[in-house]
Amino acid sequence: MLDEQGCPDCKRINEVLSRVGDRWSVLIIISLAQYGTLRFNELKRNLGISQRMLSLTLKELERDGLVNRTYHPTIPPKVEYNLTPLGESFRQPVAALGQWALGNLSTIDAARATYDEATGP
């Protein structure tokens, strides 16, 4: 891909969004923001995410410094996740996005229906 872009920030925004901008990351952040600390299987049940994707996404979030992982070597083992300060700072923009999403879901649905009817038949 060429690099003759007039929007120099786009590449960088793109970079960050491809890291923390995917669906599961956002939902995990929202959950942790809401409940504070959650265990692996609590997140799993909460989000309806597969074990594999949860594991992968949590590892990424930990790597990016957004989520903290605490391992308790008890039997049975217990692992807790919560937001780091960086993760907390991500709450604001994410919350704004989530709120907008909820508030405009029906509007978008209506727009879709209109568009489909005007285009489709």
In the region spanning residues 52 to 71, those forming contacts with a copy of itself, defined by CB under 8 A, are 62-66
- With contacts defined by CB under 7 A, name the span among 38-46, 90-98, 99-107, 112-120 that binds DNA: 38-46
> Contact between 121 and a copy of itself (CB under 8 A)?
no
Cβ of 84: how many Cβ atoms within 10 Å? Answer: 16
Q: Does 73 bind DNA (CB under 7 A)?
A: no
What tokens appear for 113 in the block?
A: 């229906």
The continuous run of DSSP H or E covering 80 comes out as strand 78-83
Query: Whose structure tokens read 């997140």?
Result: 43
Q: Is 53 near DNA (CB under 7 A)? A: yes
Query: Beta strands 67-72 and 37-39: pairing type?
Result: unpaired
The residue ranges that bind DNA (CB under 7 A) are 1, 22-24, 39-42, 49-53, 55, 58-59, 69, 71, 76-79
